[in-house]
Structure 1
């Protein structure tokens, strides 16, 4: 199902990813993990693995991590199809907003985002059958640190043309500083390398004792 139309070209990575994600979480003894709504099932697998290991080996080594899911846009959907998750693998560049996009790119993508012919809804329940409207309103609410109800209250009955303009302006104001900082960092490769190296050392210092303890519990010889 995840592979969609590319089922014949699926790599082993699609199957191993949830297990690798679980390993990345458990190796640092994480207790809480910020995830999007679509990642919750992977965290459930992580919890199952931790619980089984603890039970099988009569230990409490691994905490049972809890998901942290917050904000209105817990699952951001494609700008071209409100029923599909926004993804960098989508063939259409207009289906997504990238952190490397210029202000003009963002404005054009939101302007061309798929909507239905009706005005914006007046009640939250009206979004149930309008996935594209729900997606854009959720994105607006999240960027503006607001509730979906508040956004609907402000734009109820208005046309999408005005809403898209306001959403584009909001998105640019929030994302442009991030893009600017990314471009600044990308111009200093030596600094990036030093940060990555420091992170690697810190990660190893945390992970190695946990891995050693895991092997000891299982009975592996060092």
Structure 2
């Protein structure tokens, strides 16, 4: 059985892109795998967080996991800071990882931007903590998106170097878990930009906490274009929209992608069903599909966030189960490294 680790940062409001790109995949994976799902609050503080908001968003991400269908009896759900082994193994990996490897990490360059000298050292060594997150459980597989592939490659390098340095075959060489292309969910106001919690317009995204009325209103007001919906010639041989169609009609591509993902259809089936129709007819059906899929989830999330006792109990139980797995592995690592312990 595969041991899968993945996590979501509590650094912004969860939205439709988070759900379709990651959380829904987590739900599917738990049926046949040993799954560990983390709220990575240690990663979140690589940039400054308001403490009260961090606690609230940690609960929101956990509520999102639960409302989406992750079963805390099948999977382990916890927040990272409750399991000290993550930070402790990350220090060992800080001493294994070479500076040249970290200098090649493009995400640090993207996030630090022009203020690189003012960025936290935590942001720089972030990939080492990510490696520790996975390997402290001897995770074998990680579902990854395009923006995390480089970090997973570094995790593999760290595991191999640790094994080579100490003459052991201890850490597994983690494999990426590819489940087909995750939907590219773009802003509802501008189809050329990714849906983001940092967008100043709340109308640009569907939040996972939105109720049915909010979901319906945002779908109806989503930016479209004046043309009729396309025929299947805009679908490439990989089953995805062609780059030409995405560039020429980004809003149409985005709304059709969201409809297909929420309805469980292929893009080809969705395009075929609406070929030659106008957006008015399409949006009526999309509203029904979005409300049916997202409305109950938003209501359940809101209920759990307003009364967080259940969420907190899930995190406590998950952290206890996670520590039971991680602590013996960390102890073996300390023995391999040569630390003298009682």
Instruction: Give the secondary structure class of the aligned counterpart of 1:28.
Output: coil
Structure 2 vs 1, CA of residues 212 and 146 (structure 1 numbering), >3 Å: closer, same or farther?
same
Within-5 A mapping of 1:79-90: 79-90=188-199
Task: Write the deviation string for residues 104-162 of structure 1: whole angstroms up to 9, x where unpaired.
Answer: 21122222323333222212135342333222222212111121111111112222222
Q: Which residue of 2 aligns with 1:76?
A: 185
Count, aligned residues: 221
Q: Does 1:110 align with 2:235?
A: no
Moved more, 129-138 or 71-80: 71-80
Q: Which residue of 1 aligns with 2:175?
A: 66
Moved more, 138-147 or 12-21: 12-21
Q: Does 1:137 align with 2:256?
A: yes
Greater relative contact order, per chain length (Cα 8 Å cut-off, separation 6+): 2
Asked if 2 retains the 8 angstrom alpha-carbon contact of 1:37 and 1:75, the reply is no
Instruction: Give the secondary structure class of the aligned counterpart of 2:110.
Output: coil
Q: Which residue of 2 aligns with 1:2?
A: 110
Task: Write the deviation string for residues 66-118 of structure 1: whole angstroms up to 9, x where unpaired.
Answer: 22343654432222233332221222212211111121211222223233332
Moved more, 167-176 or 181-190: 181-190
Q: Which residue of 1 aligns with 2:53?
A: none
Q: Does 1:127 align with 2:234?
A: no
Structure 2 vs 1, CA of residues 188 and 219 (structure 1 numbering), >3 Å: closer, same or farther?
same
C-alpha separation between the residues in 1 aligned to 2:186 and 2:150? 18
Moved more, 182-191 or 22-31: 182-191
Asked if 1 retains the 8 angstrom alpha-carbon contact of 2:131 and 2:152, the reply is yes
Structure 2 vs 1, CA of residues 128 and 187 (structure 1 numbering), >3 Å: closer, same or farther?
closer
C-alpha separation between the residues in 2 aligned to 1:173 and 1:72? 24
Runs (5+) with no aligned partner, structure 2? 1-108, 236-241
Q: Does 1:167 align with 2:293?
A: no
C-alpha separation between the residues in 1 aligned to 2:273 and 2:301? 33
Q: Does 1:25 align with 2:143?
A: no
Q: Which residue of 2 aligns with 1:57?
A: 166
C-alpha separation between the residues in 2 aligned to 1:162 and 1:33? 40
C-alpha separation between the residues in 2 aligned to 1:211 and 1:107? 48
Q: TM-score, normalised by structure 2?
A: 0.57
Q: CA deviation at 1:199?
A: 0.9
Q: Which residue of 2 aligns with 1:208?
A: 327
Q: CA deviation at 1:8?
A: 4.5
Moved more, 36-45 or 78-87: 36-45
Runs (5+) with no aligned partner, structure 1? none
C-alpha separation between the residues in 2 aligned to 1:59 and 1:74? 40
